[in-house]
Amino acid sequence: MAETKNTSKTFQLNTGKTIPAIGLGTWQSQPGEGDRRGASAASGRAARGDLPDQPSSTTPGTSGPLKRSSARSKTWAWITSTYTSCTGPSSTTPEDLKKHYPDWDFVDTWREMQKLMDTNKIRNLGVSNFGIKNLERLLNDPSCKIVPAVNQIELHPGNPSPKLIAYCAEKGIHCSGYSPLGSSDSPLYKNETIASIAKAKNRSVQQVLLMWGVKKGWSVLPKSVNPDRVKANFDLDGWDLTDEEVAKIDSIPDRFKVCGDAWLPIKVFFGDDE
């Protein structure tokens, strides 16, 4: 089989560094599963492994869902991981967790995480699942000295969040979209508008959805356990979507969200954009 040519598309961050336009999502991966997918992507020089900060994610590292051995060279491997050793909360009683903002929250965490930039152990610092309300609270806090480079959020035609995207752009925060295909049984796969564009382009619906996200200006993090699909997801060079085709996908009226915040002790999502 001929080697798949993966996309060379990147986006520039507010740190001056660049981030690959597409990555390999590993959320809820089983032990070893990410390694196999990482090897499949690496065989075509995939550029990014994502280890998101969800309770169900495996701890990054040699036993994590994506081993560093899967990425052949640190010069091209971009690994998104989670820092879990911040200063702990001063109070975590059940009553505290019922509050909108517990005694220890993301502002305290961000204050501690900013110190990591001085260690030269990380190159960029970002947040995940931050809406406008929480970004405003973070950016307006006196302890905030570093504007997040990335906000990783759910992004697809069913959850485009235009106001949040515009707000992040205004603040110089790059958006990275998880669940860019919707879900494993996504209703977007059967959408006639997307299907017709895919047929005209001789591309898969999944590739069209990923290209739509890239054209909108955000990086995308598809997840797949199928090696051929992993490689196909990274094949975004040599073709494009027209502005008219992007607008047609923009106009799809159906709205849905894959990931909610019911598992969290506090509310994170206040609406499509808030």
* Whole-number pLDDT of residue 272: 58
If you count DSSP H runs as helices and E runs as strands, how many of each does the chain have, helices first? 9, 9
Alpha-carbon distance of 180 to 160, in angstroms, equals 10
* Whole-number pLDDT of residue 258: 87
* Whole-number pLDDT of residue 97: 45
* Whole-number pLDDT of residue 274: 52
* Whole-number pLDDT of residue 43: 43
Alpha-carbon distance of 173 to 150, in angstroms, equals 5
* Whole-number pLDDT of residue 30: 52
Burial (CB < 10 A; 0-12, 13-18, 19+), residue 192, is exposed
Please state the pTM of the whole predicted model: 0.77
Question: Residue 47: which residues within 8 A CB-CB, separation 6 or more?
Answer: 6, 20, 22, 23, 76, 77, 78, 234
pLDDT digits (tens, 9 = 90+) for 64-84: 333 433 333 444 455 666 555
pLDDT digits (tens, 9 = 90+) for 154-199: 999 999 999 999 999 999 999 999 999 998 788 999 999 999 999 9
* Whole-number pLDDT of residue 11: 96
* Whole-number pLDDT of residue 85: 55
Mean pLDDT by 10 residues, the chain (274 residues): 61 95 71 48 43 37 36 50 54 48 72 91 90 94 97 95 96 96 89 98 96 96 81 87 98 89 71 60
- 3-state secondary structure string, 37-51? HHHHHHCCCCCEEEC
**What residue ranges define each of the domains in the chain, with the CATH number in brackets?**
15-85+101-184+219-240 (3.20.20.100)
Q: Are 23 and 80 in contact (CB under 8 A)?
A: yes
Q: Which phi and psi angles does 99 have, rounded to 5°?
A: -70, 155
* Whole-number pLDDT of residue 95: 54
* Whole-number pLDDT of residue 72: 39
Q: How many CB atoms lie within 10 A of CB 110?
A: 20
Question: Residue 168: which residues within 8 A CB-CB, separation 6 or more?
Answer: 135, 151, 174, 175
